[in-house]
Amino acid sequence: MNEVDSLQGLIGKARRERATSIRQLAMQAKAAGYKIVGTTLNAIESGSYKSTPSDDTIRAIAWLARVGDETAFMAAGRRVPGPPFAAELPPGVDDLSPKEREAVIGLLRVLVAQRQELDNEDTSTQDATSNSTAYGEAGSSGAPMKPKHPDNVRQLTRPNQPEEVDEEFDDTAPPPEALDFVARETPPGYKKGYDIDREDDDS
C-alpha cells in the first residue's frame, strides 16, 4: 500500500521527511495555524484512534505530509468538503415562511442522511476488502490455501472415472451365492410371475 493511501502513512511520511517526533509535528502544525494535538496524531499513526478525524485534523496532516487536501481526505476515505453550505444560500432565504423553511430543512436532512449512509457503505466495503481472505490466497505459511470439503459432501468425479461404490451400503443386487441357490432350487418348468401374466394377456 502506498504511504499516501492512509492517514497513518501520511503521518509516517511527515515524520520521516521532517525528521522529528509526533510532539514536534503537532507544534509545527499549530504554529502554522492548524488545530491538532500530538495525542491525536499518535493515536492515528498507531491505529488506536476510534473517532472520525475532523476536517481540521485531516488538513493539518495534509500540511505536515506536504500533500494536497484532496490526497489527505481520500486517505481518510472522505471527499474534500466544499465551502460552507450557508455561504451558498441565495439572498432572501430568511424571508421564507415557517412551512417553506420546514420543507427545505426536511429535504436537506434526507440528503445528508443519504450521503452519510453511502459514505458508511464505502468505508465498510474497503474494510471488508482489506480484511477478507479468499480461496487460493496465501496463508500464514505462504502456501496457497486450498478449499476444504466437508466430510459429508461427495466430490464430483472426473469424466470416464469409475464411480466408487461403498460395498457396505450396496444392497441393490443379491450376492452371487444367493443366485446360485435360486438356480439350484428352482423346479424344472417353473415359470416366473411375469411369464404367466404375459401368457394370460396373449390368451
Q: In this structure, how many other beta carbons lie within 10 angstroms of the beta carbon of residue 61? A: 31
pLDDT at position 169, please? 47
Q: Which 3 state secondary structure label does DSSP give 6?
A: coil
pLDDT at position 153, please? 46
| Residues of the chain scoring pLDDT < 70 | 1, 122-203
| Set of cell numbers at residue 78 | 472522505
d(CA 95, CA 132): 54
25 close to 18: Cβ distance less than 8 angstroms: yes
76 close to 58: Cβ distance less than 8 angstroms: yes
Q: What is the DSSP string of 91-103?
A: TTGGG--HHHHHH
pLDDT at position 78, please? 87
pLDDT at position 181, please? 56
**Cα→Cα distances 176→44, 76, 96, 103, Å:** 78, 76, 98, 88
| Set of cell numbers at residue 134 | 479468499
Amino acid at 31: A
72 close to 7: Cβ distance less than 8 angstroms: yes
Handedness of CA 92, 98, 99, 105 (dihedral sign): positive
d(CA 134, CA 140): 13
Task: Give this prediction's pTM.
Answer: 0.49
> Cell 504554529 belongs to which residue?
31
d(CA 64, CA 18): 8
